[in-house]
Amino acid sequence: MQCVGSIFKKKMAGKNLTDIKEFILLGFSDVPDLQGLLFGIFVIIYISILTGNGLILLITKSDSTLQTPMYYFLGNFSFLEICYTSVTLPRMLADLWTQMRTISLSTCAIQLGFFLILGGTECFLLAVMAYDRYVAICRPLYYPLIMNHQMCARLVIGSWIGAIPVQAGLTYEIFSLPFCGSNKINHVFCDAPPLVKLKCGNSLLNEFPVYANAVLFGMFPFLLILVSYVKIITTIMKLPSATGRSKAFSTCSSHLIVVGLFFGSAIITYLLPKSKESGETDKVLSLFYTTLTPLFNPLIYSLRNKDVIMAMRKLLPK
C-alpha cells in the first residue's frame, strides 16, 4: 500500500506540473498607487542603460586610441550589459504598463535560461577584466605578449560560451520537477531562488543546485578577482612614485566599483540562507545586479577615465 501511495503521489505531482500553465509575477503589486511612477522610472533607466552602454561600445570600437585589451573587454562588457538588462526590464515594463502579470511556463523558462547564462558570462568577464589589470600592473613587460589579440578573443569567447552548458542544465533541472501549490512568484522576473520555493519535495535538495551554481559562477570568479587585486595592490604600494601609484589605482578603481555592486548584491541573493520573509529583500537586491550595475557601468568608466572622456568629446558634437 505504501508503494502504491508513493506512486500515486508521484503521479499527482506530475499532474500538478501540467496543470500549471503559467505563473503570476507579483512584482510591485503591493504598491498599486506607484505603478505609473515606477513605469516612468524604469523606462528612463532602461533608455539610459541602452544609451550609455551603447555609447561605450561605439567609442571602444571606433576610436583608435582605445584599441587596447582593457577597452576591448570594456566594449564586450557594455554589450553584455545591454543584453543582460534586455532579458528582464522590457518584461517588467510591460507588466507595469498592462498590469497583466502572467507569464507562461515556457516563457518563464526561456527568461530564466538567458538570465542565468548572461549572468554567468558577466561573472567570467569581470574576472577576465581583473586578470587583464593584474597582467598590466604586475607583469607590464610581458603584457603585450600575454594579452595579445588572440588571447583576448579566446578569453571573451570563453566567457560568453562557458556558462551555457551549466546554466542551461540548471534551468532544465528547475523546470523538470513539478511545482506545488501556488503559481505566484514573489519577484519582478523569473529568477532561480523564488522559483525553487514553489517546487515540490525537499526544499534543501531543491535549493542545492542553485547554491552550487552560485558558488561556481559567483564565489569562484569573485575569489579570482580578489586574489588578482591583492597582488595588484601589493605591487602598486611598492611603486616609488606617488603619481605612479595614483595612476595605477585609477585604472582599477572603476572595475572594483562595478565588481562590488554586482557581486555584493548577487552573493547576498543567491548564497545567504533564505527565510519566508526574504522575498521582498531579494526583489530589491535583484534590481542592483540587473539594473543599477548596467546603469552605473558607463558612468563609472566614463567619469573616472580620461581616455574615455576624450573619445566621447571626439565622437559627440560640442
The overall average pLDDT reported for the chain is 82
pLDDT digits (tens, 9 = 90+) for 250-282: 767 777 888 888 888 787 777 766 555 556 777
Percent of the chain exceeding pLDDT 90 equals 32
> Lowest-pLDDT range, 35-39, 55-59, 166-170, 258-262?
258-262
CA distances from 238 to 23, 42, 57, 133, 234 (A): 56, 45, 34, 16, 7
Residue in 71, 70, 74, 168 with CA at minimum distance from that of residue 119: 168
Looking at the whole model, is its pTM more than 0.75?
yes
pLDDT recorded at residue 15: 43
List domains and CATH numbers for the chain: 21-315 (1.20.1070.10)
Q: What is the pLDDT of residue 293?
A: 85
What percent of the chain lies above the pLDDT cut of 70? 87
How far CA 25 is from CA of 35, 41, 74, 135, 266, in Å, comes to: 14, 19, 33, 45, 20
Asked if residues 53 and 79 have their Cβ atoms less than 8 Å apart, the reply is yes
